Amino acid sequence: MKSKGLLKASFLLLVLGGIIWWSNKKAATADKTPIEKTATSLISIPVDQIQAIEIQKHGDETIRLQRIDSKWQIAGAKPLRADPEAVSSLLSSLSSLSSDRTVEEKAASPDQYGLTQPALELTVTDNSNKTAKILIGDKTPAGTAVYGAIAGDPRVFAISSYKTSNFDKSANDLRDKRMLPFDTDKLSRVELQSKKQSIEFGRDKDRWQILKPSPLRADQSSVEELLRTLHDAKMDSSGNEDETKLNAAFRSAAVFVSARVSDSSGTQELEVRKSKDDYYAKSSVVEGVYKIASSVATGLDKSLDDFRNKKLFDFGYADPDKVEIRDGSKSYLLSRNSSDWFLNGAKLDPGTALSLVGQIRDLTATKFAGSGFTTPLVDITVTSDNGKRSERVLISQNGDHFFAKREGESPLYELAASTVTDLQKSATDLKPAAPAKK
């Protein structure tokens, strides 16, 4: 009796497994057997003609993006700036949106695809006020695609899920979270105020200089890093903290650092305060108080010396036209003609000449000094940029220390002793070029 019961149960299990296999096979076949395999473009509006995008999620708020001149904003009672990168990504996804296949040419019942009450509706308006609407419905049985349709078109399409994932956005996802939405290329002034000191930078063409507390040469990479930190200072809206609590925290926190950036259109300001391990920021162009990342705050907490240029010469990576060195009783006058170097008119071995020029280019202070300069020991003058730039540096020795200063400037630079002795040795090691082979 037990054997018969076991045999019957096994038979029923086999039948049930067959039914499940057939059901899955049928569903998979339905998903993989399209009416038409040709991809269909779902949006025919060129990107530069799109003026508005509306994203409506079922049972959720409707988000409307509007182009105002060349900038995008999120429409509402209080319009918000849209994140340029997020909008660019959205436009790119729209312009390339196409189906993988046509599932049905004329759907008798769109509801079976979830298109009667779609999960997502995308409405795109062009500059002639014409609109195109895309409906996104249920997932296909295999789960790798979703059903979609063009409003007013009876066809039903299958669209790969990755193509539509970029449209499932909230207003917070699309909002510009920058506290200072400036254009770096248009800035002319930057001010940084902290407990340490007040520093002001000014741009002359493509180069930044320190204007305050006194005119000084600026390290370009350090100033550019400061600008990146300010540009990337974003509100932390992930916690969705209560506005009243944030305002109270900001008022009770200690001032940490403040920054001001200016261009032809005006000035933007950012104030950062610290309370324990949290940093709060308030901007002159963004309503409200927000938490910001600690890396932003510490990136702004810099001293004057962090921005000063420690290089002795500014001629950079372009080879100079002429180099004149006086080292005690020794004198060297190097001139360049194309890629050849000459010493007092005699052609030099290129290796020894370039080694000396490289060491002059790399002359860098170990730190800045307030005093210590004595009688000049080495005098170097470099002419570059087709004679337009002339830089002179004097180097003196005071005990075991070497100090340098640029002509016409008051700051002193302290140099490592090995830097100076290596430079002197490279000058004495200059060799004439090998005779040309007959």
pLDDT digits (tens, 9 = 90+) for 343-357: 988 999 999 999 999
Distance, in Å, from the CA atom of 63 to the CA atom of 76, rounded to the nearest integer, reads 9
**pLDDT value, residue 238:** 67
Banded pLDDT at 437 (limits 50, 70, 90): confident
Q: What angle do CA 345, 357, 392 make, to 5 degrees?
A: 90
pTM of the model: 0.78
Distance, in Å, from the CA atom of 364 to the CA atom of 311, rounded to the nearest integer, reads 4
The answer to whether 235 touches 179, Cβ cutoff 8 Å, is yes
The answer to whether 258 touches 267, Cβ cutoff 8 Å, is no
Q: Which residues pair with 94 in a beta bridge?
A: none
Banded pLDDT at 10 (limits 50, 70, 90): low
Banded pLDDT at 206 (limits 50, 70, 90): confident
Average pLDDT, the chain: 89
Banded pLDDT at 435 (limits 50, 70, 90): confident
Query: How many CB atoms within 10 Å of residue 13?
Result: 10
**pLDDT value, residue 372:** 95
Distance, in Å, from the CA atom of 300 to the CA atom of 315, rounded to the nearest integer, reads 29
Q: Which residues pair with 322 in a beta bridge?
A: 335, 383
- 394 CB-near residues (< 8 Å, 6+ apart): 373, 376, 378, 379, 380, 404, 405, 407
**pLDDT value, residue 22:** 43
Tokens of 13: 């299990």
**pLDDT value, residue 58:** 85
